[in-house]
Amino acid sequence: MDQPDPKNGSGLILSATDPIRSFLALASDDRRLSEELRGIATDLRSKNTVPYKLLRAIWTGSDPLTRPDLLGLFSGSDFVFTSPKTREKSEELKLRLLKLREIAERKEYAELVKDITPKKQVEEPFSSYKDQLGFGLHVGLTMFTGYLVGYASFRALFNRNPALSAAGGILGLVLAMLVETLLFIIKTSKDDQIQSSKSFTQSSPSFTPTTKKNQ
């Protein structure tokens, strides 16, 4: 039979009782056992718990005439269960949990101050009926002015030719519409940049809800 490893205490663990300690005391002087097993018996007899594998190996190698009955040896002994080691969290998991905690704190803080913090109003172009009506009238007036300017210019250049005068009016209308569209794009882009700058300025300071709560 293979001898057990003295350092191997894995497997079932039994609580040490008086019969087990008495047996281990006798086994430590039993010449039938190897020096290694006698050393294990000497070491285990002062312990409060005993590995089943080592105790069974010592019992198997001891004198059958003097060793106690195995069932009687284990009588009164209980199994000892050890809790598994706590798994350490990885750095990536710690950072993820920290971010989730910060998000939860931000939501909690926003929920607390939602009644006293004014709501952000995002101004959009043509958000009201008056804006839409005013823009429509402005575009219509610009296009009409462009048509008149083009019509008058071509009428003066081409000796009051009706067809060419009408073509000049249409050309002026199209140019006026293009200019109005370009101005509208420029204005919208500037409004977006201003809104983005305001949002960035408001969100740039560090926000630590936990510190505010502690204060």
Chain segment 37-77, per-residue pLDDT in tens: 888 888 888 888 888 888 888 888 887 887 888 777 877 77
Q: Name the average pLDDT for the chain.
A: 76
Q: Amino acid identity of 142?
A: T
**Where do we find the tokens 């209980």?**
78
**pLDDT 10s digits, 82-130:** 766 667 767 888 888 889 999 999 888 888 887 776 655 555 555 566 7
The one-letter code for the residue type at 137 is L
Closest-CA residue to 30 (of 17, 40, 18, 15): 40
pLDDT value at position 157? 84
51 phi and psi, to 5 degrees?
-65, 135
Q: What is the 3-state secondary structure (H, E, C) of 78-128?
A: CECCCCCCCCCCCHHHHHHHHHHHHHHHHHHHHHHHCCCCCCCCCCCCCCC
